[in-house]
Chains A and B, each alone.
Chain A
């Protein structure tokens, strides 16, 4: 079956530091890949996505590249802010008729001033 593995948190960084959150996946076929963000007390919001190999998703300074050869979709940001503190979820969809998402366990990011 499908699965997503994320690095465990929490990740604690100082403001303006470089961020990497690792994500690897197992899936059949050609899944679509996503990063969702959850701010405290809120639901999940789509941060970025990529639908085929070598695609780069980007949004709000975050980037992730769909690497089929390494089955990875690592999230990066060059300079984090306190407002980026949240839980980040990597997810995939196997593009079957169900179109449901398989999520990783989430990585909590804490950015200190």
Chain B
């Protein structure tokens, strides 16, 4: 099993450009999450999806959109990137009812110039 995979691993954008971060899991989990990690701030929830076809905002959703394409895939889109979105982005998944243990991908390091 590959677990949770993310692409790309690194990305540099100019202000105003758009991009989509991809995430996929092969553990048949219902719930998927997008977090961002900034120095000294831990991880903060951007969006989550409790099941296929549903999404909801987290703590810091502004400037992002998400799509739960199917049970395996959960993408994060930046429509017009800003320097404040420079961060490391992590996707995670968990099984409903499994005491909330989450499995994380390796992360995408995004720099917006």
Partner-B contacts on A (CB < 8 A): 4, 32, 34, 36, 41-46, 49, 51, 89, 93, 95, 97-101, 103-106
Contact = CB atoms under 8 A, between A and B. Distances in A.
Contacts of A89: 42-43
A106 B106 contact: no
Interface in B86-113: 90, 92, 94, 96, 99-107
B31 interface: yes
Given A44-B90, A105-B40, A99 B31 contact: yes
Nearest to A50: B99
B45 A51 contact: no
A100 B99 contact: no
Nearest to B103: A46
B33 interface: yes
Interface of B: 4, 31, 33, 40-45, 48, 50, 56, 58, 90, 92, 94, 96, 99-107
Given A32-B99, A43-B4, A43-B90, A101 B104 contact: no
A46 B56 contact: no
B107 A105 contact: no
B106 A43 contact: yes
B56 A98 contact: yes
A23 to B, nearest CB: 11
15 contacts: A32-B100, A34-B101, A43-B104, A43-B105, A43-B106, A44-B43, A44-B104, A46-B101, A89-B42, A99-B50, A101-B102, A103-B43, A104-B42, A105-B41, A106-B40
A53 B105 CA distance: 30
A105 B31 contact: no
Most buried by B among A100, A105, A106: A100
A46 B42 contact: no
A34 B92 CA distance: 15
B100 A95 contact: yes
Contacts of B105: 43
